[in-house]
Amino acid sequence: MRIARLIHTLGSLTQIALTVLTGVYVFLTWRLVNQTADQMIFSREQHRVALAPYLLVAVTDVDDTQAKAEVERNTKLTPKQKKDALKQIADTAIQYACTVTNPTSKVANNLVAILFDSGTQSFLFCDNGKEVLVEGAKEGFWFGWTYLNEREVRDHARQAFSEPAPFLDQVFATGATSYVVILFRDMEGRLYAFKRPFSISKEGEITHQPGTYAFDRKQP
């Protein structure tokens, strides 16, 4: 009888041990799978960051003279394109302007600029987008008086790049701080948003805050 009880007890202990070991195995496997997934995401994000140029974005004094000078200096524009651009500036009451410089060797393509004005809680969409920004290049963007709401600016951004880009919903948000966003693609065609907050004092002094990148982390 004692032997039978001992065998039964040993069997129960063995079953418990196997259950514990199974649980430990499942947990370790789950953790390993998650670590592998995290490593893959991290590696993918590192690859994305390695391809993206770091842009220097700054809001500048409102001056249509500067905007016209930038058009005149642009050797890539044909005479007709210059004429059309200068007419656009003349017909637009420029409220804001910003410059974008690419100090890196990585190329930025299809640049679009959007500005949020915290004073009016509205967005301004820049019509003079840039096709490419190579190493050392500096381009100017100017914004008129055509205000857009949050939904409209998201629709404009999606239409400009012909893709849903759900991460832009977090980029374009209203609040107490004004900011400018530069949307662009890297050399492999992936979409990014560089967002830089700024403020303008009553004396007209412009102060910038550090900028941040945003992109779709699920996209390879």
Tokens, residue 175: 């609040």
Counting Cβ atoms within 10 Å, is residue 208 exposed (0-12), middle (13-18) or buried (19+)?
middle
pLDDT digits (tens), the chain, 220 positions:
556 555 555 556 566 655 655 665 555 554 544 444 444 443 445 555 567 788 999 998 766 777 788 788 888 888 998 888 888 777 766 778 899 999 999 999 999 999 999 988 999 988 778 889 999 998 888 887 788 888 888 888 888 787 777 888 888 888 899 999 999 999 888 889 999 999 988 887 899 999 998 887 766 6
Residue 55 in contact with residue 136, Cβ under 8 Å? no
- d(CA 160, CA 153) in angstroms, rounded, equals 10
Rg of the Cα trace of the chain?
27
- pLDDT for 18 equals 59
Tokens, residue 114: 């959007």
Tokens, residue 38: 């995290």
Angle at 214 between CA 149 and CA 115, to 5 degrees: 35
- pLDDT for 195 equals 94
Angle at 204 between CA 123 and CA 126, to 5 degrees: 25
Q: CB within 8 A of 205, min separation 6: which ones?
A: none
Residue 200 in contact with residue 116, Cβ under 8 Å? no
